[in-house]
Chains A and B, each alone.
Chain A
Amino acid sequence: MSDEHRLKVDWIACNGYGVCEAAAPDLIVLDDWGYPILPDGSVPRELMGQARKAINDCPMVALSWENRASATGGRLGRLRFGRRGRG
């Protein structure tokens, strides 16, 4: 794909625990109901670390990369990401 790095939420899985905000305070804010508001466009290079942390920390595996995630959404995104992260 391109070097676009967009985050997405699986809204059915997300429970609004807000762990993602703590992991990525410069990237994610919570709305009135405690659900994450994601950045509009691509995650800037300098915040990639925060984005990765948010994906890995989310207890519901609800966060993933838009272009890499698949049907199972978060989980696959996370596994793939985990491998990338180590490699």
Chain B
Amino acid sequence: MGTTQPVTQPTERLLAGPPLDGRAEALHAHTTRLGALPHVPAVQMIAALEATGLRGRGGAGFPVGRKWRAIHDQPGLGVPVIVANGAEGEPESAKDRVLMAHRPHLVIDGALLAARTLGADRVELYLGREHTAAVRAMKGAVEERLKSDRKLLHVIEAPTGYVAGESTAVVHYLNSKDARPMLTPPRMSERGVRNRPTLVQNVESLAQVALIARYGADWFRDAGRGKDRGTGLVTIAGPVRHEGVAEIELGTPLAELVEMAGGLTGNPKAVLIGGYFGTWAPIESVWGMPLEPESLKAAGLTFGCGLVRIVDERTCGVGYSARIMDFLAAGSAMQCGPCKYGLADLAEASGRVAGMGAKATDLYDIGRWTALVTGRGACRHPDGAAQQMSTALAVFADDFASHADRRRCLAASLIGAYR
């Protein structure tokens, strides 16, 4: 949503190097700047990843080292396949596409390290086809690689859609061109793409691995202010001077990120953290909040894919969350009843409330249905959608009540535009 403008900052690791001007860093520049990709023995690589505590950056936050070890420690199930997940279906997040468009070789280095460490003979670069600059950069970067590496690397243009980046949907698409999630067990670490052990890893996670292989776990942990260490890519959107992607030291307070983005241009009211699957919080409760998975989790929030969407006092939180609900309902793969019908009903009810046409039961039903759809699908799409909605209901409680009962929008009244 027009937030692809990168924001440059001092704590840069992944985004260090040439300016982020839309051009991909070429292979020779990449290796001149960072040195060639080192050969790290598998055992050492996995131990280093475990020592970093690096968590996956695709949204779920699963420890990367543990995922690699699971595949490494179970030989005999076939030659593994590596999937670099660059679907980035989250509409307001731009960090993966900015990374791929400017530093494609970091992502490819990470994917090749995974292949070498786990003995894989195939790397699928699964890229959201709507991210054209990223796709172009990644394809160009593959062409620059040695023939022996090119043989491993396969660019797959992923279909557009929110669930197309979900890991079982990724595997399903690679196997049968159907990007709908499927039931998981047998685990994909055992049987995934082509029935082989499969590692699906977000592109930022892989880029982090490329630096860890070069500089080690201690270096990685040098950055960071909280329990989760290192740096992370975030997308900041809303009333700030420079919306876009920034690299922060994990644990950087929200207030500081806003400063990095050039400061506020409006009066903020609330923040959606972690993506459309994320959690809303009132601005005053999170202004000093360290942006880091552990701290956020302790506060009942989520780091997710690193989206920080601020809304100002003139933005209707009811309308905003209803539009997200509508988007997520349309994004359901329509396979599971509670997801298909529940999200549609949630979208309709919240849309009615936002549009001043609430039925008497709508607020009550929204609360009930968010609980009812949670945990009742083949993937976690309904869970995420419900989390966004239920936290909006809490954070914008007055606005929801005012819309439903008095048919009046508190945000609109601030700008004198009564509806």
- Residues of A participating in the B interface, judged by any CB pair closer than 8 Å: 9-12, 14-16, 31-35, 37, 70-71, 73
Contact = CB atoms under 8 A, between A and B. Distances in A.
Highest count of chain A CB atoms <10 Å: which of B185, B186, B335, B376: B376
Given A16-B337, A32-B369, 7 more contacts: A12-B182, A12-B336, A12-B378, A14-B336, A15-B337, A31-B342, A33-B341
Contact of A70 (B182, B185, B378): B185
B337 A71 contact: no
Highest count of chain B CB atoms <10 Å: which of A35, A37, A71: A35
19 contacts: A10-B378, A11-B335, A11-B337, A11-B339, A11-B378, A12-B182, A12-B336, A12-B378, A15-B337, A16-B337, A31-B342, A31-B372, A32-B372, A33-B338, A33-B345, A34-B337, A35-B337, A35-B338, A35-B376
A16 B186 CA distance: 25
Contacts of A11: 335-339, 376-378
B183 A71 contact: yes
A48 B185 CA distance: 25
Contacts of B378: 10-12
Contacts of A32: 341-342, 345, 369, 372
Contacts of A9: 376
Contacts of B341: 32-33
> Interface size for chain B: under 10, 10 to 19, 20 to 34, or 35 or more residues?
10 to 19
Interface in B323-355: 335-339, 341-342, 345
A10 B376 contact: no
Contacts of A35: 337-338, 376
A31 B372 CA distance: 8
Interface string B177-210: 0000011011000000000000000000000000
A9 B183 CA distance: 11
Contacts of B338: 11, 31, 33, 35
B337 A33 contact: yes
Highest count of chain A CB atoms <10 Å: which of B336, B338, B376: B338
A12 B376 contact: no
Nearest to A69: B185
B49 to A, nearest CB: 29
Contacts of A34: 337
Contacts of B186: 70-71
A66 to B, nearest CB: 10
The 4 closest A-B pairs by CB, nearest first: A11-B336, A33-B341, A35-B337, A12-B335
A18 B377 CA distance: 17
Given A32-B372, A33-B342, A10 B337 contact: no
Contacts of A14: 336-337
A33 B332 CA distance: 16
Highest count of chain B CB atoms <10 Å: which of A10, A11, A16: A11
